[in-house]
Structure 1
């Protein structure tokens, strides 16, 4: 069924007809296709004899929208195609709900390749996922289950990001108790590994916040800076942190002002110039 004239300058073409672990018919047809592409004359009429197949004219130009291949079931890579929901979050990709326990798992992936700004938070030579990052993950999980308050969050183990590749991430929210509170945990492990999951943070979520204290109401009503708060000198703040081994890159230099009272520290924070969402 296949013939080729080979001169002295022609390169040999090897096409395996039988391959371990593959159906014999599929392997043989793939070999014929490989030979055809390499310039071997294949008797396709004989191959399709008795099948009812016939030749058709090819489109005369690239934009004639008529296909000549079998349309089968489409298997997409979107989350709905694998039975999950999108988390709609820059660090979390999918949401998985448990129908039996009313618990929720939010999954994602952290990498300095896909999120460049993560590398701007380092302790010594280690790229460390920030504490505020854990707070953001817990708050996103709270919104998923209808909670409005992150009551507490305890950091147990640092999450050190690799220079290359990333880590798989899971935020797990447990079933509610009688008061509506839920436990929340954050775990990670190196992607592509079978290593145990590491728990980095634990906390609790609540449906409603406790009543604000009188002094909190005073400054939250619009008075800024808060009455009686003394300004904190921030000159050389980031340089001093770097000398102590805490390296903050551009994305983490958003502290614009700070004030202190006997019991509180108030801060004014904003995204540094050039690090707006979607640009860094």
Structure 2
């Protein structure tokens, strides 16, 4: 210890001499092994850290499932391959949005939670494209089968498929345990990334409160009424703070319950808030329908701005169509999200909550307009499906070419009616709008009579035709469209194109080429007089 102290004293003395300007023989301090010299900066080190920050996911919420990091509570893993863009999740039933959402003794993923799943999948897939767009629109959404979690975990997938118009089709599906090749479709629709340039809608909340003069309900009164109507809600799903009742409209203040407030940052469209909208609609319909209800269709969901945790919602009911429109806004009335054409239907005692091919545990699609479903018109009563298609085709040709219906022979070539290239293009557009299926004039070169066209639609698009021409029935003095089983929905995965990395046989490539017809030519070859 004495040697160490002596050594330190010598070093301090040498340092003092060096600071006074003496030129010292530093190498004499060491023995035979001479260390390398380092040039140190002549300024003190700043005690500040400049580490590169950790990169975050495009979704700000990343939680953990066991030892695996998940993208989102409803969108856990990216399981894409060359055939489709896909995300997969495994739900055990212990998640708060499943554990506390029980219908007829079964843990069911809330139908509105699918909307957040789709939004998260679109955001995760779009990546940098989201920076160029200010909003998102989900369209033509149909709920077919609920996601039921029993003793075993439910494996759920969402597949996304690009469309020619720039939009994205999606479907949420799972495989049956005994048949992994067959998909059970739970939800379908399309996504559009958009920029909302118009001025945002602003609601006058004070004026709406004055308009809703039928009564005001507190949270306790709301859930007492819902319980009496057969809709008992767990405390984690009690997101209603107050409700102002009006004529065919209500204004409600919602909030995320304190028991799950820590989940607020994990969701953009929080399942509790969306499910609370369904509860408010249940209050509107409690006097007419004393049963729990499920969402079955939504025409459009427009996400315009940043979602908040304690919104005001205005819900308007259209008595004629029995649909609802919902506006979400902040305390200043600035609308940040809109639902249009929301359809619900009550559960019945006969409904089985276990999915099967013949029995849909969801209410069947009822009085819906997706994709196009006006039902048979009065003049089609008693017609077969083939007769309905034939009737409409003749009607369209009659109106387009101004030819009486009785003069149209279904076995005669379309050219005999006076069709030319322009009118055939118009006819293709009329059929496209009527059935919501894209057709081109090339169709008529392979199916040149009304009879062959009818057979084509009947065989190639049977499910669409059944949905379009389903029978209309009278219910409570109004005409509605008869229910159609969810099994008629066609999987987009079955119709999706084969991977571009797999080369198809030449014979198949030839068969898949679309026929074309040259309808005109102009110009002249060099030094030619005629062509």
- The TM tier, using the shorter chain, reads 0.5 to 0.7
How many equivalent pairs are there? 184
**Residue 243 of structure 1: how far off its partner (Å):** 3.8
State which of 151, 172, 192 in structure 2 corresponds to 1:186.
172
Distance 1:183 1:225, change over 3 A: farther
**Pair 1:257–1:193, CA change in 2 (3 A):** farther
Equivalence map 1:1-280=2 (5 Å):
88-99=71-82, 103-113=84-94, 115-146=95-126, 148-162=136-150, 164-178=151-165, 180-189=166-175, 194=179, 196-208=182-194, 217-219=201-203, 223-224=204-205, 227=208, 229-230=211-212, 232-234=216-218, 235-259=220-244, 265-277=250-262
If each structure's helix is expressed as a fraction of its own residues, which one has the higher value?
2
Secondary structure at the aligned position of 1:157 is classed as coil
Q: Is the 8 A contact 2:75 2:121 kept in 1?
A: no
Relative to 1, partners in 2 of residues 1:123 and 1:229: Cα closer, same or farther, differing over 3 Å? Answer: farther
Alpha-carbon displacement from aligned partner over 1:89-117 (angstroms, at most 9, x marks no partner): 01221113455x6x42110011223x144
1:174 offset after TM fit, Å?
0.8
> Larger Rg: 1 or 2?
2
Closer/same/farther in 2, CA of residues 89 and 105 from structure 1, 3 Å limit: same
Partner of 2:258, secondary structure, is coil
Which deviations, in whole Å up to 9, do the C-alpha atoms of 1:63-83 show, x marking residues without a partner? xxxxxxxxxxxxxxxxxxxxx
Return closer, same or farther for 1:109/1:245 CA change in 2, 3 Å cut-off.
farther
Q: Secondary structure at the match of 2:107?
A: strand
Residues 121 and 247 of structure 1 are in contact (CA less than 8 Å); yes or no, is this contact kept in structure 2?
A: no
Distance 2:206 2:178 in 1: 49
Q: Is the 8 A contact 2:161 2:170 kept in 1?
A: yes
Per the alignment, in what secondary structure is the counterpart of residue 277 of structure 1? Answer: helix
Instruction: Report the alpha carbon displacement of residue 268 of structure 1 after superposing the two structures with TM.
Output: 2.8
Deviation at 1:86, TM superposition (A): 6.6
Displacement, 1:126?
A: 2.1
Measure how far apart 1:217 and its partner are: 0.8
Q: What's the Cα RMSD here?
A: 3.3
Query: Which sections of structure 2, spanning at least 5 residues, go unmatched?
Result: 1-67, 131-135, 265-531
Task: Give the Cα–Cα distance (whole angstroms) in 2 for the partners of residues 138 and 264 of structure 1.
Answer: 28
Q: CA deviation at 1:226?
A: 6.1
Q: 1:237 to 1:97 in 2, by over 3 A?
A: same
In structure 1, C-alpha distance between the alignment counterparts of 2:245 and 2:164, rounded to whole Å: 37
Tell me the equivalent position of 2:503: none
Aligned to 1:12: none
Provide the rounded CA distance (Å) in 1 between the counterparts of 2:225 and 2:175.
32
Q: Distance in 2 between matches of 1:211 and 1:233?
A: 37
Gaps of 5+ in 1: 1-84
Aligned to 1:217, the other structure's residue is in SS state: coil
8 Å Cα contact 1:122/1:128 also seen in 2: yes
**What SS does the corresponding residue of 1:251 show, helix, strand or coil?**
helix
